[in-house]
Structure 1
Amino acid sequence: MTNRAATEPPPPRILIVDDEAANLTALRVTLGHQGYETEGFTDPTAALAALKQGGFDLLLTDLRMPDMGGVELLQRAQALDPNLVGVIMTGEGSIASAVEAMKTGALDYILKPLKLGAILPVLSRALTMRTLRLENAALERSVRERTAEREKALREVENQTTERLRAEQAMMQIQKMEALGQLTGGVAHDFNNLLMAIDGALHLLDKRLEPDHVGRKYIEGAREATRRGARVTNQLLAFSRTQRIELQPIDACAALREAAPIIAHALGPTISLRLDFAPGEIWTKTHRDQLELAVVNLAVNARDAMPDGGEVVLGVAPGDGPAAVIWLRDDGCGMTPETATRALEPFFTTKERGKGTGLGLTQVYGFAHQCKGEVSIESAPGAGATVRIVLPRIEAPAAEVKERPADISVARGGRVDPGRIKVLVVDDDDAVRQVLVDGLRVEGFDVIEAAGGVDGLAALQSRSPDALVVDFAMPGMNGAEVGGRARALRPGLPIVFCSGYSDTAQLEKVEGAVLLRKPVSIGVLGRAVMDLVAAQTV
């Protein structure tokens, strides 16, 4: 027993800083049971004094503390020990605080209230990174200590060190982008629910006003603002890679040649657009609208870097792989290596306040990865910038002749009376559910409601609705489970899914259901319900 204990490595030492003593004590006890050695402080200044003594592997700190925030504490701690890894705890759940913390060098973040299943994987990754950093530091010291007689060996080790550092940086960048992607996807979902509630309330208000009422123009202005907000969430979802887009074979040359007038308009009158397309066709599997939006975002970014005007070149060329390479080059002010590295992050911008959202290149990044492609930026201060989107290239598809389906409104012999349709609305968000219920009632539907999956299935059995409208992301039982069980109880039941998330692959298992992305207008929802019900009568 003694010999084995002597050879075992010491447990990792974690310094925990939280101004709430109860949280600190509970966390130390929990991690102690997991084999970690911990030391805790409620005072960040005292924690820094302990850090100066050394011996810690990881700093786990709260983000918001009265005397010194977690961001400042982490910066000071890493000045004392550059190899120290930091993890931020935050109860805010906001993208701004998490992004701010990760910008300062935090490896990851944990949302409060803390759960053991969420804490342990983060600590494991962080300690693995600590080990890599220490190994790299030791390797660099070894290289520096080599003698001149072993110069050749020294160069080889330096090359290995460089590659290892590059791999570490790449891994850290991937982890950071994935964490930001998950966070932005959740924020977009919440934002879509807010927009849904606002737009639905405006729709109901609009229905109550006379046609010539002066308030209608203000309502329309507010609804246009919700539509702009929806476009922002689409960009967030594109970055998080949860926005499911249907990929189709597209000739990139033809698509962008047709989009050239729109791109030129985005550049403005002082910047000329020159096309440099390879001869022939270059096919790739992508989404035409998202491709055009990505190039327009690149054009807008180039325009802002060229206040005195100039020329932008848009090119399409074959690449290795095989690949389709879409690139845009400007002769603007260019970027530093640091800026180019961070340019794809959401909300990162070098523009003046109010002149950019920091989401343009984010959309480009998310779009490319959804198409199984990559984005690269080549730039230097004063030398302009070239952004390349590299997508998998495919063979030109064979021409298809598809039979046009009969129009459903004709096939069913006229629209269904909504007053004869009983709709069950299931959504856990009270505000969203209220506008859906009230909106459908204003449209003439007979509506019943439920705040969750269990209550919804009970209402399905007791009230016998003609159609089901259900949210996807709900606690306990999500929309896919509700839809699947509903179909088991009522085969062929018309189902409309509404979701602020876009990662909804589970919904595809519910055959014949319709998916509408939040925020969805009441009119669109009502037509979807009537079309599904009417299709059963054909």
Structure 2
Amino acid sequence: MSRLDAPADGGPPRLMIVDDEAANLEALQSTLSGQGYEVAGFTDPTAALAAFQRDAFDLLLTDLVMPGIGGMTLMHELRARDPDLAVVIMTGEGSITSAVEAMREGAMDYVLKPLRLSTLLPVISRALTVRELRRENARLEQGLRARTAELEQALEEVDRQAAERVLAEQALMQAQKVEAIGRLTGGVAHDFNNLLTPIIGYLELLQRTIDETEPHRRFVDTALEAAHRGAKVAGHLLAFSRTQRLNLRAVDVDATLRSSDGLLRHALSAEFVLEMDLAAGPVWSNSDTTQLELAVLNLVVNARDAMPDGGAIRLRTRSDTEAVTIEVNDAGTGMSPEVLARATEPFFTTKAHQGSGLGLAQVAAFARQCGGTCQIESTPGAGTTVRIVLPRAEAPAAEPPARAAPPTAPPGHGLSVVVIDDDDQVRQILCDGLYSEGFAVRSASNGASGLAMVDADPPDAVVLDYAMPGMTGAEVAHRMRARHPHLPIVFCSGYADSLALDQIPDAVVLRKPVTIDDLSRTVRRSVG
């Protein structure tokens, strides 16, 4: 018996013999048992069927013609229960045609009666071998299918990772592009603020010399108002570039939105209507005016883009004792649940070839920084509502009226200040403005000169630009504090690195363009 003759469990092959002639059956049982097979014999096919339900067999050796259930029917019955069962038909010379038909129906071979051992044993061995080969082939096919499925899953995972890598590379490129645009925008805003600082400063000094009743006063007032509007534009540029420190203070939300009306409507074409429904009276929240304006502008632009045919965009505010809610609503295309779940992810956008995917991300980040939340409701085809919920704040206390100083004692009388700024015009207006307030002023055009000036004769305070060549304001401040730990330092810059300034203890920051009053007041407060 070859290795393939043996069943899978390693025991001897189990044969079922069915023959209605008892003498033939006994002879076969004795002969095949002697060859190492485990044999069960039956003269009644019905008994064989019952035995097959209880035990497993590897091969059926059955007579073809029997009373009751014939060999063909028995073969079909048993193979229906075990398709791998090997079947060998025993038949007489006269029924060889039926034996061939049985092979067409599933039998593996046949032997002719009277049986010869030299013929029977090779047929049984071959049938068992074929059975095991078929079983092994089925196992291999099953393993191949499983391996193929694993490979398909692996290929799908590779494709998924490749797609994610492409998306990550695209997001990185977009981030680099946005960062480059932000740097460019921040640089432009810095230069713009430096230009506006002497314009606003000298207009303020000129305004002080002209009585309100004089006709030319209107020219100065109008120019100064336009300069302040330019400063507001620069603030928006800095907010976009994300280089501006978040200046949290009590902000009248409704007043801020009313002042942004022109900015918001400028972002809309004639097909759109902006409906504003603001709460009556001041509504205060701890926020940043510029960032708040930019957040609402982002929401209005998103609403605009969601309505390609135009329509109404509704901006409303509501407040209670705990919170202030700013709501922007549109009747646009809306978002699916899948898109809504990712709406505030940085660089996630559904606008092909337009938009950075940062609008809602910036809005959500702004709300969190203010201690609030950003809530979004959207239905496909029915529009979107975005709510910025900010904590309510108390109205700021009115500053007590300043006691009038005698004419011989201006606000800065007796205080000395060193101004360090690399821009000649900015440095000059800062000096002139402080001088007009009674300060004794010295100036330097770079950090090294400023340090030497402070070391030679320490002042009461230093007004310091941040963005300077060679040595930044932060580096100058660190060196000054190392030598003069208690020296008050006021940063006056249009482009400030928040992280660098946060590392300087008690850093006071004024954003350019700064008014003379703010500069004078801040310097006096820093001195104490």
Change (3 A) 1:155 1:219: same
| Amino acid in the other structure paired with 1:295 | V
3-state DSSP of counterpart to 1:436: helix
1:444 correspondence with 2:429: no
- How far apart are 1:433 and its partner, in Å? 0.4
CA contact (8 A) 1:240 1:366 kept: no
CA contact (8 A) 1:378 1:386 kept: yes
| Amino acid in the other structure paired with 2:419 | V
- Partner residue, 2:218: 217
- Partner residue, 2:478: 484
Alpha-carbon deviations, 1:250-299, whole Å to 9, x = none? Answer: 9xxxx989999899996799858699xxxxxxxx9975873465225523
CA contact (8 A) 2:201 2:433 kept: yes
- How far apart are 1:432 and its partner, in Å? 0.5
Matching of residues 241-320 of structure 1 within 5 Å:
241-245=242-246, 271=273, 290-291=291-292, 293-299=294-300, 302=303, 310-312=311-313
Unaligned residue ranges in structure 1 (runs of 5+)? 1-149, 276-283, 317-324, 346-360
Alpha-carbon deviations, 1:216-240, whole Å to 9, x = none? Answer: 2222222222222222222222222
The CA distance in 1 between the partners of 2:182 and 2:384, in whole Å, is 24
Matching of residues 370-449 of structure 1 within 5 Å:
386=384, 417-449=411-443
Matching of residues 322-333 of structure 1 within 5 Å:
328-331=328-331
- How far apart are 1:460 and its partner, in Å? 1.5
- How far apart are 1:434 and its partner, in Å? 1.0
3-state DSSP of counterpart to 1:420: coil
Match 2:355 to one of 330, 343, 352 = 343
Alpha-carbon deviations, 1:123-158, whole Å to 9, x = none? Answer: xxxxxxxxxxxxxxxxxxxxxxxxxxx998876665
The CA distance in 1 between the partners of 2:218 and 2:398, in whole Å, is 39
CA contact (8 A) 2:464 2:492 kept: yes
Match 1:470 to one of 464, 467, 472 = 464
The CA distance in 2 between the partners of 1:191 and 1:239, in whole Å, is 15
Q: TM-score, normalised by structure 2?
A: 0.51
- How far apart are 1:512 and its partner, in Å? 3.5
- Partner residue, 1:231: 232
| Amino acid in the other structure paired with 2:441 | V
3-state DSSP of counterpart to 1:342: coil
3-state DSSP of counterpart to 1:423: strand
3-state DSSP of counterpart to 2:449: helix
| Amino acid in the other structure paired with 2:432 | D
1:453 correspondence with 2:431: no
Matching of residues 7-46 of structure 1 within 5 Å:
none
The CA distance in 2 between the partners of 1:508 and 1:479, in whole Å, is 13
3-state DSSP of counterpart to 1:448: strand
- How far apart are 1:167 and its partner, in Å? 2.7
Change (3 A) 1:230 1:341: farther
- How far apart are 1:451 and its partner, in Å? 0.6
Change (3 A) 1:315 1:455: same
The CA distance in 1 between the partners of 2:502 and 2:202, in whole Å, is 30
CA contact (8 A) 1:239 1:365 kept: no
| Amino acid in the other structure paired with 2:439 | F
| Amino acid in the other structure paired with 1:182 | R
Change (3 A) 1:224 1:478: same
Change (3 A) 1:156 1:438: closer
Change (3 A) 1:220 1:169: same
Change (3 A) 1:215 1:331: same
3-state DSSP of counterpart to 1:213: coil
The CA distance in 1 between the partners of 2:259 and 2:195, in whole Å, is 31
CA contact (8 A) 2:275 2:313 kept: yes
- How far apart are 1:244 and its partner, in Å? 1.8
CA contact (8 A) 1:422 1:466 kept: yes
CA contact (8 A) 2:274 2:315 kept: no
Matching of residues 144-159 of structure 1 within 5 Å:
159=160
3-state DSSP of counterpart to 1:418: coil
| Amino acid in the other structure paired with 1:213 | E
- Partner residue, 2:197: 196
The CA distance in 2 between the partners of 1:441 and 1:522, in whole Å, is 10
3-state DSSP of counterpart to 1:447: strand
The CA distance in 2 between the partners of 1:192 and 1:259, in whole Å, is 21
The CA distance in 1 between the partners of 2:212 and 2:205, in whole Å, is 14
Alpha-carbon deviations, 1:84-126, whole Å to 9, x = none? Answer: xxxxxxxxxxxxxxxxxxxxxxxxxxxxxxxxxxxxxxxxxxx
Alpha-carbon deviations, 1:476-495, whole Å to 9, x = none? Answer: 22222322333333342232
The CA distance in 2 between the partners of 1:262 and 1:332, in whole Å, is 26
- How far apart are 1:472 and its partner, in Å? 1.2
- How far apart are 1:455 and its partner, in Å? 1.0
The CA distance in 2 between the partners of 1:210 and 1:288, in whole Å, is 32
- Partner residue, 2:115: none
3-state DSSP of counterpart to 2:291: helix
- Partner residue, 1:205: 206
Match 1:521 to one of 510, 515, 520 = 515
The CA distance in 2 between the partners of 1:256 and 1:203, in whole Å, is 28
Change (3 A) 1:160 1:531: closer
3-state DSSP of counterpart to 2:214: coil
3-state DSSP of counterpart to 1:472: coil
Report sequence identity in percent: 45
3-state DSSP of counterpart to 2:198: helix
Change (3 A) 1:368 1:215: farther
Change (3 A) 1:368 1:288: farther
The CA distance in 2 between the partners of 1:241 and 1:152, in whole Å, is 43
| Amino acid in the other structure paired with 1:186 | G
Matching of residues 68-217 of structure 1 within 5 Å:
159-217=160-218
3-state DSSP of counterpart to 2:430: helix
Alpha-carbon deviations, 1:8-67, whole Å to 9, x = none? Answer: xxxxxxxxxxxxxxxxxxxxxxxxxxxxxxxxxxxxxxxxxxxxxxxxxxxxxxxxxxxx
Change (3 A) 1:182 1:262: closer
Larger Cα Rg: Structure 1 or Structure 2? 2
| Amino acid in the other structure paired with 2:464 | V
Unaligned residue ranges in structure 2 (runs of 5+)? 1-150, 278-284, 318-324, 336-348
| Amino acid in the other structure paired with 1:425 | V
Change (3 A) 1:286 1:525: closer
Matching of residues 51-66 of structure 1 within 5 Å:
none
Alpha-carbon deviations, 1:310-368, whole Å to 9, x = none? Answer: 4446799xxxxxxxx99744235999x885653348xxxxxxxxxxxxxxx86x65454
3-state DSSP of counterpart to 1:488: helix
- How far apart are 1:212 and its partner, in Å? 3.2
The CA distance in 2 between the partners of 1:375 and 1:158, in whole Å, is 35
Alpha-carbon deviations, 1:400-420, whole Å to 9, x = none? Answer: 9xxx9997979x9xx974232
- How far apart are 1:450 and its partner, in Å? 0.7
Change (3 A) 1:525 1:301: same
CA contact (8 A) 2:178 2:356 kept: no
